Structures are given as C-alpha cells and as structure tokens.
Amino acid sequence: MTDRMGFIGLGIMGRPMARNLIKAGFTLTVWNRSRPGIDDLVRAGAAEATGPADVARRSDVVISIVGDSPDVEEVALSGDGLIEGAHPGLVHVDMTTMSPEVTRRISERLAEVGIEMLDAPVSGGQQGAIDGTLSIMVGGRKETLERCRPALEAMGRKIVHCGPSGAGQTVKLCNQIAVALTNLGMCEALVFAARSGIDPRVMIEAVSAGAGTSWQLQNLAPRIVERDFRPGFKVAHQLKDLRLAVEAAEKLAAPLPGTAVAQQLFSALAAEGLGDEGTQALVKALERLADVEVR
C-alpha cells in the first residue's frame, strides 16, 4: 500500500476523514469545490491540487466523498475528472452515498482506462468521521480492498466487503432505511409521551434500558428535548439517501412503505427550509401534526 493518497470533497464528513489520513502518516493531496476545506487541510499538512485530474496524477489512491451521483460522475468522468489523470495502478475509492446503478456505470467506464474503483460509503456521522470510527461498506474487488485497507482503517473501525461493484452502496441504503425508520420511531415515542403529559426525559431513561433502546434514542432524543437541531447528519442528506433507496426499490419491485413515509416527512421539512438541520428535526414534522412540542 502506497502512502500517496488523494482526497476530494472536504465537507462535514470529508474534512475530518482527510485529517485522520494525515495523522496516520499518509501523504495527502486534496481538492474541493470551495476554499475553506482546502485551506484547512493545507494547514494540516496536505498539498493542494488544481482539480480532480491533478489529484489523480499525484496519487495512487484517490478517495472522494461528495454530494450525490451527479457529483461523483463529475469528479470521475468530466473533462477535468479522475479519468483524465489515469495511470497504471490508480484506484478510486468513492465514499459518497449514491445510486448503486450509477456506481456500476462509473466503475465500468474507469476500468476502460485502467482505474479500479471501490464504492465504500460510510455510516457513523460527523462524530464517527472525527473519531475515525466509521463503519465502511465496500463494493468491488476484494484484492483492491485489501490494498486500500490501511487507509480505510485510518478512517473507520468496521470495514466489510459487501460484494461486487455497487454492493457497498446497496448495503449503505439498507443502513439508511434502518436509520430513518428508527429515527421515526424515536420521534413518535417522544411526541406520544409529550402528548400524554409524560416528561420526555423520564421516557428516554426508562426505554433506553429496555428492548426499545437505540442509538437514536440515546443520542438524538436528548438533543430534541433540549431543542438542539445542529446537524451531525443533515435533513437534506437523509432525504437524498431515502430518495435513492426508494428509486432502487422501485426497480426491484421491493415495497418499502415505512421508508416512503419517512421520505415524505423529511421532504416536508426540506420544503419548510429545514434541510440544513440535523435529522433529529424529523420530530418537528410530527409535532405539527400532533400540535405539541417535545421539551
């Protein structure tokens, strides 16, 4: 495994992930569409590239984590994309949550010029990115994963090979389905408690000790009670992931009724201009329906 790494996408997740690569001793070349991320990583010891193609030329493994499928296509396949900086042995590890179908299409196009691709989306949110404890779900050749494992271990605690190209993205959508529905259940429990006149803190304490506990109940519910809606993971990002899940499920004729409900509630929040709030803001949609506020 070489230590020549590239990193594209220095937002709420990418910036701490890139920092962890530097801390692990990797030589890092970075690029981002906006200056703050670049400046922050250059101060931490990274080198700045002029664009994705330049990152590719100066790296043996390029990691990207951007917004959605079209953004990954632009990074990989545009006129200044990774494909223009192709050289023998180059690997593209995309950690964006995106369409499994688009992932496979990009992988096939990159393979034509000798670039191997892994889809390696992550779970764990901003804190997991900061702590280097992300769960990483990987699709692609197992041999390529083993080559890149030291870098992935600098960013994540659990790394699972899920299958061929696109499998990592499919498993990540499974994760997002489970996360969204658990979040919805937690929010419904809070609204029901508040409407019943129960102190929500008492409900959280009691239920957290039993079979109804969850990461969301233990971590997001107390923030809701404090009316803290700062994002660890944004409403807009959750909505995008649920859209991808529902679209993929439709092509498979796999019914996802609960996911569709969660998608509609997150869509309502986005329509109100709450897309930049944390996913715990889901409770606001239910509060309006029940005419109650959880405090």
Tens of pLDDT, residues 102-161: 999 999 999 999 999 999 999 998 899 999 999 999 999 999 999 999 999 999 999 999
Catalytic residue among 23, 158, 172, 284: 172
pTM: 0.92
Neighbours of 41 (CB within 10 A): 25
Residue 1: is its pLDDT beyond 60? Answer: no
List 29's β-bridge partners, or say none.
6, 47
C-alpha 163/C-alpha 171 separation (Å) is: 10
Tens of pLDDT, residues 57-74: 999 999 999 999 999 999
8-state DSSP, 280: G
What is the pLDDT at residue 207?
98
Token pair for 90: 């180059």
**Angle CA 16–111–166, to nearest 5:** 60
Query: What domains are there in the chain, each with its CATH number?
Result: 4-164 (3.40.50.720), 170-290 (1.10.1040.10)
CA 154 → CA 8, 97, 179, 227, 241, distances in Å?
16, 19, 24, 34, 25
Tens of pLDDT, residues 145-160: 999 999 999 999 999 9
Token pair for 257: 């009724």
Active site residue 172: yes
